[in-house]
Amino acid sequence: MGIFSKSSGAFRDAKGDLILENVTKSFATFTAVDDLSLTVPRGSFFALLGPSGCGKTTTLRMVAGLEQPTAGRIKIGSTDLTGSRPYERPVNTVFQSYALFPHLTVRDNVAFGPKRRGSADPVGEANTTLELVQLSHLADRKPTQLSGGQQQRVAVARALVNHPEVLLLDEPLGALDLKLRREMQVELKRIQMEVGLTFVHVTHDQEEAMTMADTVAVMNLGKIEQMGAPEVLYDLPRTKFVANFLGQSNMLHGTVQGIDGDFTVIGAGDHKVKVRTSRMAPGEGGEAIFGIRPEKTRVHDEAPSATLAGASLGPGTLLDVSFTGVATQYLVDVPGVGRWAVYEQNLDLDRISNKPGDQVWISWNPGHAFGVRS
């Protein structure tokens, strides 16, 4: 390490926000990450969410230095890390497969980083961190003698012990059962708040992303579709992909037919619905997609009053009613629109009177609707 320590030091002391500038990664002819730019504020919990193969792991690997970008720059604060080696960066990774050293004990796994960094007391640091993840009692075991959840915590401890500027977590909870997963989510969030590091967390699980992160970025085909606070992203998706990927959306494909006060009217055939103009994704006239979340809608067995014009649809045929305990899900086929889902909370016990085949209408509060471009 000696000959590298001088130059490594400069990279390793980098502090500040994680910044990706126009980062592109191509494998032969295939572009895995396409002109990606983002800033993760120092000390925040950032979740990268997207379908399989969209480039999440590739993005993390470039931040870790395990892969070099084809174009673009990666910085922490004002230090440009592009081109530096993984061991020179103040970044640690919790690998999806844990990647624990099989020949070392849990304690030695955790002490590995501190030893390489030349810490005065690597074993002491390892013990303290193992305490944090509540694994002190298993410190002398080999990784193969641990359960999946315990291995995962060792992987977190092994990265965390180094107090990196940025901690990368690549679907670290993917292999766990639901209960352990929820526990680990709480644990990770607690640790992040306690130590105040920047976490970049990759996941397939939208619920996980939304419950844990300060900022969620939805990625698709190597690009970030939309980025923001979870509640903002859920409430106001700006692309069709995000509307469908993050939760579920009922959609109506139509054309913009005009403005009505604060609202934009979207029409398709005989149907006209309205969206607050401020909740329309930017773009010029023409085609547009109206969207509304299933839990923001209601079913009725009579035509709604004229006051709900633009905030209702019908009549349609009820295809399916399923009672799930706290809620009831309806599936309604509206001619010319398609199948819409309605989730109603079971606040009122004698609500379930409709049967499949019945004629129903759907209504909603127009303020909840959103519009995206096709």
Partner 1 sequence: MTALAHIGSTGAGAQTPGGPAPEPTKKGGITAYLLLLPGVLWLLVFFVAPMAQLAAVSLQSQFPGYPGYYYRDVNFGSYVTAMTEYLPQFGRSLLFAGSATLLAFVLAYPLAYAMAFKAGKWRGLMMICVIAPFFTSFILRTIAWRQILADEGPVVGALKWLHVMPSSGRITETGFAVVAGLTYNFLPFMVLPIYASLERADPKIIEAGGDLYANGLTTFRRVTLPMSMPGVLAGTLLTFIPAAGDYVNAELLGSDSTKMVGNVIESQFFKVLGGFPVAAALSFTLMAVILALVFVYVRRYGTEELL
Q: How far is the CB of 59 from ligand ATP (least distance, A)?
A: 7
Among 20, 40, 49, 56, binds ligand ATP (CB under 6 A): 56
Options 88-96, 195-203, 253-261, 344-352: segment touching partner 1 (CB under 8 A): 88-96
- Site size for partner 1 (CB under 8 A): 28
Cβ contact 324:292 at 8 Å: no
Indicate the residue among 23 and 138 with the shorter CB distance to ligand ATP: 23
Paired tokens of 247: 């939760």
Residue 308 binding: pick among partner 1, ligand ATP, Mg ion, none (C-beta 5-8 Å cut-off by kind): none
Which residue, 263, 248, 159, is CA-closest to 207? Answer: 248
Options 84-92, 223-231, 266-274, 358-366: segment touching partner 1 (CB under 8 A): 84-92
Among 44, 57, 152, 185, binds ligand ATP (CB under 6 A): 57
Binding mask 45-74 for partner 1 (x = CB under 8 A): -------------------xxx--------
Q: What count of other Cβ atoms lies within 10 Å of the Cβ of residue 373?
A: 16
198 binds partner 1 (CB under 8 A): no
Tell me the C-alpha distance between 95 and 155, whole Å. 8
Indicate the residue among 101 and 234 with the shorter CB distance to partner 1: 101
Which pairs count as long-range contacts for 187-190, CB under 8 Å and 24+ apart, including other chains? 187/133, 187/153, 188/156, 188/212, 189/45
Buried b (16+ CB within 10 A) or exposed e, 302-329: eebeeebebbbbbbbbbeebeeeeeebe
Options 90-98, 241-249, 263-271, 344-352: segment touching partner 1 (CB under 8 A): 90-98
3-class DSSP state of 247: coil
Indicate the residue among 99 and 303 with the shorter CB distance to ligand ATP: 99
Among 17, 25, 40, 57, binds Mg ion (CB under 5 A): 57
184 binds ligand ATP (CB under 6 A): no
323 binds ligand ATP (CB under 6 A): no
95 binds partner 1 (CB under 8 A): yes
Options 45-53, 101-109, 242-250, 337-345: segment touching partner 1 (CB under 8 A): 101-109
CA dihedral 16, 17, 22, 26 (to 10 degrees): 90
Paired tokens of 51: 């379908």
By CB neighbour count within 10 A (0-12 exposed, 13-18 middle, 19+ buried), where does 72 fall? middle
**Which residue is nearest to Mg ion, using beta carbons?**
57
Which residue, 267, 238, 272, is CA-closest to 255? Answer: 267
Residue 23 binding: pick among ligand ATP, partner 1, Mg ion, none (C-beta 5-8 Å cut-off by kind): none
Options 32-40, 49-57, 149-157, 240-248: segment touching Mg ion (CB under 5 A): 49-57
Tell me the C-alpha distance between 227 and 223, whole Å. 11
E strands in the chain: 18-27, 30-40, 45-49, 71-76, 79-80, 91-94, 166-170, 198-203, 215-220, 223-228, 250-260, 263-268, 271-276, 287-292, 297-300, 312-323, 327-334, 338-345, 359-364, 370-372
The owner of tokens 């992203």 is 233
Indicate the residue among 32 and 94 with the shorter CB distance to ligand ATP: 32
163 binds partner 1 (CB under 8 A): no
Which residues of the shown chain bind ligand ATP in the complex (CB under 6 A)?
27, 30, 32, 50, 52-58, 204
Residues near partner 1 (CB under 8 A): 1, 4, 64-66, 85-87, 91-93, 95, 97, 99-104, 112-113, 116-117, 142, 144, 158-159, 162
Kindly list the residues in this chain that would bind Mg ion in the complex (CB under 5 A): 57
